[in-house]
Protein backbone atom coordinates (compact mmCIF):
# COMPACT_ATOMS: atom_id res chain seq x y z
CA UNK A 1 0.00 0.00 0.00
CA UNK A 2 0.90 3.67 -0.12
CA UNK A 3 0.62 4.41 3.58
CA UNK A 4 3.24 5.01 6.25
CA UNK A 5 5.06 1.81 7.18
CA UNK A 6 7.10 1.06 10.27
CA UNK A 7 9.42 -1.76 11.19
CA UNK A 8 9.74 -3.79 13.22
CA UNK A 9 6.15 -3.94 14.47
CA UNK A 10 7.29 -5.41 17.78
CA UNK A 11 10.63 -5.17 19.51
CA UNK A 12 11.70 -6.71 22.81
CA UNK A 13 14.95 -5.42 24.26
CA UNK A 14 16.87 -6.11 27.42
CA UNK A 15 17.56 -3.08 29.56
CA UNK A 16 20.72 -1.41 28.36
CA UNK A 17 20.46 -2.53 24.76
CA UNK A 18 20.33 -0.12 21.84
CA UNK A 19 17.36 -0.25 19.45
CA UNK A 20 16.62 1.27 16.04
CA UNK A 21 13.10 1.82 14.74
CA UNK A 22 12.44 2.53 11.07
CA UNK A 23 9.79 4.66 9.38
CA UNK A 24 8.97 4.78 5.68
CA UNK A 25 6.75 7.82 5.08
CA UNK A 26 4.30 8.29 2.25
CA UNK A 27 6.26 9.00 -0.92
CA UNK A 28 6.65 12.72 -1.53
CA UNK A 29 5.75 13.78 1.99
CA UNK A 30 8.01 16.56 3.18
CA UNK A 31 7.28 16.43 6.90
CA UNK A 32 7.92 13.49 9.20
CA UNK A 33 7.07 13.16 12.88
CA UNK A 34 7.83 10.71 15.68
CA UNK A 35 5.50 10.22 18.64
CA UNK A 36 5.65 8.11 21.79
CA UNK A 37 2.41 6.55 23.04
CA UNK A 38 2.41 5.09 26.53
CA UNK A 39 -0.22 2.51 27.43
CA UNK A 40 -3.63 4.13 27.86
CA UNK A 41 -2.42 7.56 26.77
CA UNK A 42 -2.53 9.70 23.67
CA UNK A 43 0.54 10.07 21.45
CA UNK A 44 3.16 12.57 22.62
CA UNK A 45 5.35 14.48 20.19
CA UNK A 46 9.03 13.56 20.06
CA UNK A 47 10.57 15.19 16.99
CA UNK A 48 9.86 16.71 13.57
CA UNK A 49 11.72 16.70 10.26
CA UNK A 50 11.20 18.84 7.21
CA UNK A 51 12.96 16.92 4.47
CA UNK A 52 16.34 15.98 6.00
CA UNK A 53 16.39 18.83 8.51
CA UNK A 54 15.41 18.09 12.09
CA UNK A 55 13.57 21.30 12.95
CA UNK A 56 12.16 20.37 16.34
CA UNK A 57 13.50 17.80 18.77
CA UNK A 58 12.03 19.35 21.88
CA UNK A 59 9.98 16.25 22.74
CA UNK A 60 12.88 13.81 22.94
CA UNK A 61 12.91 12.72 26.59
CA UNK A 62 16.67 12.37 26.98
CA UNK A 63 19.93 12.37 25.08
CA UNK A 64 19.56 8.60 24.73
CA UNK A 65 17.01 9.29 22.00
CA UNK A 66 18.28 10.20 18.55
CA UNK A 67 16.47 10.52 15.23
CA UNK A 68 17.73 10.99 11.70
CA UNK A 69 16.38 11.32 8.17
CA UNK A 70 19.54 11.64 6.11
CA UNK A 71 18.03 11.67 2.61
CA UNK A 72 14.72 13.26 3.43
CA UNK A 73 12.66 10.09 3.13
CA UNK A 74 13.21 7.10 5.48
CA UNK A 75 13.75 7.97 9.13
CA UNK A 76 15.26 6.04 12.01
CA UNK A 77 14.61 6.60 15.69
CA UNK A 78 17.42 5.22 17.83
CA UNK A 79 17.25 4.67 21.55
CA UNK A 80 20.51 3.96 23.32
CA UNK A 81 20.86 2.07 26.62
CA UNK A 82 17.14 1.36 26.79
CA UNK A 83 15.34 1.66 30.13
CA UNK A 84 12.06 0.11 31.25
CA UNK A 85 10.34 3.51 31.06
CA UNK A 86 11.08 3.55 27.32
CA UNK A 87 8.48 0.78 26.84
CA UNK A 88 5.77 2.27 24.63
CA UNK A 89 4.41 2.34 21.11
CA UNK A 90 6.48 4.57 18.84
CA UNK A 91 4.39 6.11 16.06
CA UNK A 92 5.65 7.73 12.90
CA UNK A 93 3.54 10.15 10.85
CA UNK A 94 4.10 12.10 7.67
CA UNK A 95 2.42 15.05 6.01
CA UNK A 96 2.60 16.46 2.52
CA UNK A 97 3.70 19.99 3.37
CA UNK A 98 4.08 21.93 6.57
CA UNK A 99 3.85 20.57 10.10
CA UNK A 100 0.24 21.73 10.38
CA UNK A 101 -0.91 19.73 7.34
CA UNK A 102 -2.87 16.53 7.90
CA UNK A 103 -0.66 13.85 9.42
CA UNK A 104 -0.96 10.23 8.34
CA UNK A 105 0.17 7.73 10.92
CA UNK A 106 1.92 4.40 10.59
CA UNK A 107 0.89 1.34 12.64
CA UNK A 108 3.62 1.92 15.22
CA UNK A 109 6.38 -0.16 16.76
CA UNK A 110 5.62 -1.61 20.17
CA UNK A 111 8.82 -1.58 22.22
CA UNK A 112 9.04 -3.64 25.38
CA UNK A 113 12.13 -3.25 27.55
CA UNK A 114 12.67 -6.06 30.03
Name the residues that contact other proteins, by CB under 8 A.
Answer: 4, 33, 40-45, 48, 56, 58-59, 91, 93, 99-100, 102-108
What is the Cα 77 distance to its own chain's centre?
A: 5
Non-local (6+) Cβ contacts of 53 within 8 A are: none
24 vs 56, which CB is nearer to other proteins?
A: 56
In angstroms, what is the minimal distance from the CB of 83 to other proteins?
19
Sort strands 75-79 and 88-95 into parallel, antiparallel or unpaired. unpaired
79 vs 90, which CB is nearer to other proteins?
A: 90
33 vs 65, which CB is nearer to other proteins?
A: 33
In angstroms, what is the minimal distance from the CB of 43 to other proteins?
5
Classify 61 as helix, strand or coil: coil
d(CA 32, CA 72): 9
Amino acid sequence: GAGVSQSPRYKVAKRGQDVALRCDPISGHVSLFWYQQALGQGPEFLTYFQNEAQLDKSGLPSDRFFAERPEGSVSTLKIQRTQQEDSAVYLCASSFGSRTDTQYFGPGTRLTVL
